Amino acid sequence: MSIIIDNETKTIVQGITGRNASLHTKFMLEYGTKIAGGVTPGKGGQEVEGVRVYDTIHQCMEEHPDAAVSSIWVPPRFAKDAILEAVDAGIKTVIVITECIPIHDMLYARQKAKEKGVVVIGGNTPGVISPGKALVGMLPRITFKPGRIGTVARSGAVTYYLANSLNLAGFGESTSVGLGGDPILGANYEDILRLFENDPGTDAVVMAGEIGGVYEELAAPFIEHMSKPVIAYITGKAAPQGKRLGHAGAIIEGNMGTAKSKIEALQKHGAILAETLSEIPVLIKRALEGRTKHEKA
């Protein structure tokens, strides 16, 4: 099993004729992702890598009503409209690759999606991959291997390193989710933790956070109610106040969003904290062995 996408999921690429979108459409198809169609207003009837382009997502859905996921690659000023169009068309999950989306645009789009029960991942997400099944986004496919450990992180680079650490230790990933680096996100850590908790193909979850924002603190209480071990890793411990680390959202403001506050909240609610990436597989093995002994007892 996996979450969000699998080998049967049909997806749409919004902004498919753009340079990055067309390149990664090729990579997604090569990986086995089922792409129902692409959307670029004014370019309907064209093809990208053999994928038909439509003027609107509604036109695409008329011919592919079973499409459940859309990835958005349009420029920031068009992202809100693209998300709203996908939501209105009946898409269930929207994966927003676009970065630097205006804050008020994302707040509005997120609320409308929530009202319709649509999951929005991003903006500024590297994507989602269920290894061996499907890839939506720009995650490097060579980095991931099929397995039973779920991962969720804001940073694309950290997502790659998590997978590499797991793979070297003989583990693999059920699904890896990049939440995104923009200040305002759609799905948060708790949303993804809930999906992993209910996924029979996931045995444990690795949750990687970073300085800035309060998404990790908000998710921490849910960990207490999970039956699966959660290993947490926080980057940016040495960053001074006001220092930005790569992402628009990775900045400490006042006493909120510090590595210390996140670590304390996660530990308080039962997460297992890793000091280094290489320590994560050791903690997973220990946690799974402990759970097995407890179940036998």
What is the C-alpha separation between 37 and 15, in angstroms, rounded?
A: 11
Strand arrangement of the beta sheet that strand 204-210 belongs to: 134-137, 127-130, 173-178, 146-153, 204-210, 230-235, 272-273
In the annotation, is 64 catalytic? no
Strand arrangement of the beta sheet that strand 69-72 belongs to: 47-48, 51-54, 34-39, 10-14, 69-72, 93-96, 119-121
Q: Which one of 24, 64, 247, 269 is the catalytic residue?
A: 247
Of the candidates 122, 114, 118, 32, the residue with the CA atom closest to the CA atom of residue 72: 122
Rounded to 5°, angle at Cα 150 from 146 and 154: 120
- Report DSSP state, residue 149: E
What is the C-alpha separation between 14 and 109, in angstroms, rounded?
A: 16
Instruction: Give strand pairing partners of 94.
Output: 70, 120
Rounded to 5°, angle at Cα 212 from 72 and 99: 20
As annotated, the active-site residues are 247
